[in-house]
Amino acid sequence: MKDPTFWILARASGLTAYALMTVAVLAGLVLKSRPFGRALKAASVTDVHRFLSLLALGAVAVHGTALVLDSTVKIVPAALLVPGLAPYRPVWTAFGVVSAELAGLIVISFSLRGKIGAKAWRKLHWATYVVFAAATVHGLGAGTDSRQTWAFAFYLAAVGSVVFATAWRALTRTPRPTTQGGTRVRDRDRSLAL
């Protein structure tokens, strides 16, 4: 009989990574849409967002390591980097690899924001939706628990919360400041400045 320790660890760390990523995405949306008004300080939410993103990547690393160490599926370390190389549900696993690599790039961009510029950083950050969607597809397609009612409800709750928070952000978007004559003027104040 094979020892199931690493298989259990792989499953648990995968679900943990997905939960952490979901909460990190929600923290990013809270930062932008401010559903709680000024009750939460932007700097604190930013710190929580970054920390949750790093924790999610750490859980992804545990997930991948546990899969390589597990004897149930034969996954070589290169399969953690090359989409489609894993023999276990290769298409669905490829979604996980792409999601993890793109998430890593986005997390690295936090410290490179000053070098790549805020505009490029913001555009790269929109890829978070791709990361979330690919991770969801990966979990549903490759996860051995995804056919269970509780797991499906877990994914449904995660997707529902991100869709709701995204809709909230889109519907309550505050106008971005514009520059006029070297001073920042809010869109609603532009008519007064003209």
Domain ranges of the chain: 5-193
Where in the chain does DSSP place strands (E)? Answer: 178-180, 183-185
The structure's pTM equals 0.84
Give yes or no for a contact between 24 and 163, defined as CB atoms under 8 angstroms apart: no
Give yes or no for a contact between 88 and 75, defined as CB atoms under 8 angstroms apart: yes
**Which phi-psi region, left, alpha or beta, contains residue 67 (left: φ > 0; alpha: ψ -120 to 50)?**
alpha
Residue 190 has pLDDT above 50, yes or no: no
Given this model, what pLDDT does residue 22 score? 97
Query: Taking Cα atoms as reference points, which of 71, 107, 75 lies closest to residue 92?
Result: 75
Given this model, what pLDDT does residue 96 score? 97
Residue 183 DSSP label: E
Q: How confident is the model at residue 194 (pLDDT cuts 50, 70, 90)?
A: very low
Q: How confident is the model at residue 102 (pLDDT cuts 50, 70, 90)?
A: very high
> What phi, psi does 116 have (nearest 5°)?
-90, -10
Side chain identity, residue 182: G
Residue 15 has pLDDT above 70, yes or no: yes
Q: How confident is the model at residue 176 (pLDDT cuts 50, 70, 90)?
A: low
Q: Which residues contact 15 (CB under 8 A, 6 or more apart)?
A: 139, 143, 145, 151, 154
Give yes or no for a contact between 161 and 169, defined as CB atoms under 8 angstroms apart: no
Any idea what the Cα angle at residue 4 is, between residues 81 and 6, rounded to 5°?
A: 30
Choice among 63-67, 77-81, 168-172, 188-192 with the minimum mean pLDDT? 188-192
Give yes or no for a contact between 89 and 79, defined as CB atoms under 8 angstroms apart: no
3 vs 1: which has the higher pLDDT: 3
| pLDDT digit string, tens, across residues 108-130 | 998 888 899 989 888 999 999 99
For the chain, percent of residues with pLDDT exceeding 70: 84
Given this model, what pLDDT does residue 185 score? 46
- The Cα–Cα gap between 102 and 115 comes to 19
Q: Which residues contact 27 (CB under 8 A, 6 or more apart)?
A: 45, 48, 49, 52
> Average pLDDT in the 136-142 region?
96
| pLDDT digit string, tens, across residues 31-89 | 776 656 666 777 788 889 899 999 999 999 999 999 999 988 889 999 999 999 999 99
